[in-house]
Amino acid sequence: MAEILDETDLQILKTLQRNAKLTTKELADAVHLTPTPVFERQKRLEKKGFIKKYVAILDPEKLNQGLLVFCKVKLQQINHEMADSFTRRIMRIPEVTECYNTSGAYDYLLKVRARDMKQYQEFVLNKLGDIENISAIESTFVMSEIKQSYGLNI
């Protein structure tokens, strides 16, 4: 059963989604509490798994990874062993930044970052191409990112 969060907990989560670098005092000011209860609430939210981790959001263009591709993958057949084997391999490929098991015509949706089309082609040939049991790959190249949100609507 999901734990029920009060309005203050939700406000702490919303505030941290906007800026996780806030000090405890700054966070306390934002949610109109003193630092000690805010610190305790934040630690509880971390311990209970509501806050998974804190990260810096990097600019892929500045880091020479500006090509964004959504790659759909269909396996020849799927069972627990083949799905586990596929996901273990995908977890070791750094170009794959996200991987989702999906329903429909394809089994997996990969979010892939690459420097350019040539690097993506090498990724398909040398990394995906080495994975047994792939029957089809469909790539969708992102021309521009319209909306990108890292937070949840809470």
Same domain, 82 and 115: yes
Above 70 in pLDDT, residue 46?
yes
Average pLDDT over residues 54-71: 96
> What is the share, in percent, of the chain residues with pLDDT greater than 90?
91
Residue 125, domain CATH = 3.30.70.920
pLDDT of residue 151: 85
Q: Look up the domain containing 109 and give its range.
A: 67-141
SS (H, E, C) the chain: CCCCCCHHHHHHHHHHHHCCCCCHHHHHHHHCCCHHHHHHHHHHHHHCCCCCCCCCCCCCCCCCCCEEEEEEEEECCCCHHHHHHHHHHHHCCCCEEEEEECCCCCCEEEEEEECCHHHHHHHHHHHHHHCCCEEEEEEEECCCCCCCCCCCCC
Identify the CATH number of the domain in which residue 22 sits: 1.10.10.10
Q: Is the pLDDT of residue 17 over 70?
A: yes
Express each pLDDT in 102-127 by its tens digit: 999 999 999 999 999 999 999 999 99
Q: Are residues 77 and 128 in the same domain?
A: yes
pLDDT of residue 3: 80
